[in-house]
Structure 1
Amino acid sequence: MKIQPDNISVQSISGYGPDWISVGNEKISTSVVIGSSGERFIWNCNRFEDLTTDHFAQLAAMNTELIIFGSGNRLRFPQPAWIKSLIDKQTGIETMDTQAACRTYNILAGEGRRVAVALLIETAPG
């Protein structure tokens, strides 16, 4: 699905599929974190089952008011221990499937909110 941002100055997600997203013309097929302030980095996790507290501690280090967690192709909630660093910093976290997270991020970033999206793009084990 192609999507179009309202605020073109914000780094936005321009499309997505079951195992990829695109930012502008760049197709990304690995888990990634994207921030409305221009941050973007690979989130080193290929499966929901491999997530740890360290993955969410990376997110807590960002200067955001809200983290949107895209949990893969289906909705799965992070364990409370994983998000303790976000709670301690009083950073909000919302969980949804990855495609819904893409849409929500674009809306909030387009409104000028300090938001980041952590997208789990799952790959088959192997």
Structure 2
Amino acid sequence: MKRNPVIPYALIAVLGITLMIILSFVGLNQVDKVQEGHGEGGEQQQEEGGGEGEGGESSSANPEQIFKNNCASCHGSDLSGGAGPNLQKVGSKLNVEDIKGIITNGKGSMPPNLIQGEKKTAVANWLAEKK
């Protein structure tokens, strides 16, 4: 009796498809863990490790560094704008509470909550001084 030459290839294909489905379900369970680690701990670890605070200051005391890490890609490192609006004189148009509201809720294409807690307050105060 001759064997069908397609059967080994069919078995390999079925095994491969089954493996992809199983790995997809395993990966779905890990997405939440990765997002949690990236959203909270990931930023803190990066800033603590790479913070350039003087005399042991935390990076939360340096709003310029927080801005560069989180906002400069859209607003420019010199606040001149780019994908986001120019912020060089934002303090003459908006007060601290307005700026905090925009950071919290986002505006236009800006996503909400890029900065949270005391870092948000520090950046809002720093931007409000730009007049």
Task: Specify the TM-score bucket, using the shorter chain as the normaliser.
Answer: under 0.3
TM-score scaled by structure 2? 0.26
Richer in helix (by share): 2
Higher relative contact order (CA 8 A, sep 6+): 1
Larger radius of gyration: 2
Richer in strand (by share): 1
TM-score scaled by structure 1? 0.27
